[in-house]
Each structure stands twice: as C-alpha cells, then as structure tokens.
Amino acid sequence: MIEAILNYEFLQNAFFSGLIIGVIAPLLGVFIVVRRMSLIADALSHVTLAGIAGSLYLSQTFTAFALLNPIYFGIIASVSGSILIERLRRLYKHYEELAIPIIMSGGIGLSAIFISLASGFNTDLMSYLFGSVSAVSRQDLWVVIGIAIVVFLFIFAFFKEMFVLAFDEEYANASGLPAKWIHFLFMIVVALVIAASMRIVGILLVSSLITLPVAASMRIARGFKQTIIYAILFGEAAVIIGLVSAFYLNLAPGGTIVVTSIFILLIVIITKKITLHLKHGRGAVK
C-alpha cells in the first residue's frame, strides 16, 4: 500500500484527503452531537447530492459546464442548505426540528429530478454517493486542504463560544455572546466539511464519519477536550483502515470506513462494559 501511494497520484490524493477528513469531520462532530444536531448532517448531505446531480446534468447538457468540478456545485448547495435551515429554524421557533426534514426532502426531490432528467452518469454519481479511491483528484485534495484551514481557524477563533453554546445556549444568549452569528458560521463550516468529505466517504455516508467516532469517544472520554481527542483518533483509525480495506478488496471506501467506525464503536462499548463488570466484581469481593 505504501509503495502504491508513492507511485500513484490518485492514491496520494485519496489517502491525504482521507487523513484530513478523519480529523475535521469528528472535530465538528463533537459539537454537532453535544448540541443534538446529528440529523443536520444528513439533511445537508442530501442537499449536497442535489448540487452534485445538478452539476452532472449541466455538464452533460451545456459544454460550458463540462470542465467544472462538481464539488463546487456541491459546496454551493450545501452552504445554501445550511442557510435555509437557519432561516426555517427562526421561522418555526417552537418547532425548530421541522427545518431538517423540509430541507432533506427538498434535497432528495431535486436530486431525483436531476437524475431523471439526465442519463449516462451513473458511474460518476455512484462515486459521489459511496466514495471512490480513484476518483479523488489533486484539485479535490486542494479543496479539502482549504476547507480544513477554514475549520481550524473557526475552531481556534470561537472554541470558547462554541463550548458555551454546546452546553447552554440560553446562558450564551444572556451573556451577550453573538450566538446567532456564531451558530450561522458553524452551520456554514459544517456544510463545507460535508461537501469536502463526499469524494472519500460518499454523500450518503458522510454523516456517519461525523457522528460514529464521537459516539465511541463519549463512552470512554472524561471531559470535553478528551472527547475531541478520542473522536479524532477513532476517525483517523476508521479512515486509514477503511481506505486500506477498500484498496485491497476493491470496495467503495465510504462503506469500509463506516463499517470500520461501527466496529470501533462496538469494541469500545464491549470493552467499557467488561471494564465496569470487572470493577463491580472486585468491589463486591472487597
């Protein structure tokens, strides 16, 4: 695998993109899970699919769009979806959760329309749905690097504010924090990460990389920062094992990464239960 990475550019693109995504997806995932916003990742991924399908249709219909990377349409659609979710949450103040199924339904509906209008891009679409090792271009890698820089700058600048918002939004508003603007920026950053992750993990599976490492981390971590560290470690492990498995078994990397994440979660849960059982057993003996 190492020799192949050194020799083939597409493997370099996939491996380095995966390593970066394995950090930024769980990093944001901790804040998403703590704020009970996990389904937003699913909604934005479906909106991203609409952008990708629309781009593939335009490239097939108009030659001017043929050379344009579909990831840019995916980013535009994902960011637009995040903005619409925020607008709808404010519109339905007492039923904020309605914003998610509305946007998700819209994304699925538009995707179905674009897919039915066009024909002949099934292979391209499959690589976006479930990820592909060979489909990651150098341009995709640079986009991922750029989005990672944005994520790190955002977390560095607003970590304390995000921490307060995650655990007590009412206190954040009462203390004078610009909670709405910070949350708005956070949603845009999440949308960017989802769009960046689609080449490796796939649009339909990207939310799993955001939530599963966090779910495993929360079982063993003691404290918020430790949760972030463990989530990133689990995310990186899932990406590396998933990409290696996808390479040797000729499978979609999205599937192998998600299945690996599930195995990691199960191992953590079982290990935690065994540890607690042994502790209780020793306590009973004493």
* pLDDT of 139 strictly over 90: no
* pLDDT of 252 strictly over 90: no
In the chain, % of residues over pLDDT 70: 91
The DSSP call for residue 178 is -
pLDDT band at 26 (very low <50, low <70, confident <90, very high): very high
Coil/strand/helix, residue 254: helix
Residue 22: other Cβ atoms inside 10 A: 27
What is the rounded (10 degree) CA torsion for 283, 271, 205, 94? 0
Of 31-45, 82-96, 113-127, 269-283, the poorest mean pLDDT is in 113-127
* pLDDT of 41 strictly over 90: no
Asked whether 246 and 133 are in contact (CB, 8 A), the reply is yes
Tell me, what's the pLDDT at 237? 94
Listing DSSP states for 161-174 in one string gives HHHHHHH-HHHHHH
Tell me, what's the pLDDT at 2? 64
Angle at 233 between CA 229 and CA 237, to 5 degrees: 170
* pLDDT of 23 strictly over 90: yes
Average pLDDT over residues 121-138: 72
155-192 in b/e burial notation, b at 16+ Cβ within 10 A? beebeebbebbbeeeeebeeeebebeebbebbbbbbbb
Task: Give, to the nearest 10 degrees, the angle between helix 70-91 and helix 122-130.
Answer: 60
Tell me, what's the pLDDT at 286? 54
In the chain, % of residues over pLDDT 90: 23
Listing DSSP states for 134-155 in one string gives TT--HHHHHHHHHHHHHHHHHH
pLDDT band at 272 (very low <50, low <70, confident <90, very high): confident
* pLDDT of 285 strictly over 70: no
- Higher local confidence (pLDDT), 63 or 123: 63
Tell me the pLDDT of the chain averaged across its residues: 84
> Where do the structural domains in the chain lie, given as residue ranges?
2-285
Average pLDDT over residues 138-158: 91
Tell me, what's the pLDDT at 234? 95
Report the predicted TM-score, pTM, of the whole model to 2 decimal places: 0.85
Contacts of 61 (CB under 8 A, 6+ apart): 118
Tell me, what's the pLDDT at 136? 79
Q: Checking phi first, is residue 111 left (phi over 0); if not, alpha (psi -120 to 50) or beta? A: alpha
Contacts of 38 (CB under 8 A, 6+ apart): 32, 207, 210, 211
| 2-285 maps to CATH 3.50.50.60 | no
Tell me, what's the pLDDT at 120? 57
Of 43-47, 118-122, 150-154, the poorest mean pLDDT is in 118-122
Residue 58: other Cβ atoms inside 10 A: 17
Of 24-28, 82-86, 171-175, 249-253, the poorest mean pLDDT is in 171-175
The DSSP call for residue 223 is S
Distances (CA, A) of 40 to 16, 46, 58, 240, 254: 26, 10, 27, 26, 19
What is the rounded CA–CA span in Å between residue 226 and residue 204? 28
Tens of pLDDT along 202-239? 777 888 889 999 999 999 988 889 999 999 999 999 99
User: Sign of the C-alpha dihedral, residues 237, 240, 242, 244?
Assistant: negative
Among 101, 116, 87, which Cα is nearest to 40's?
101
* pLDDT of 8 strictly over 90: no
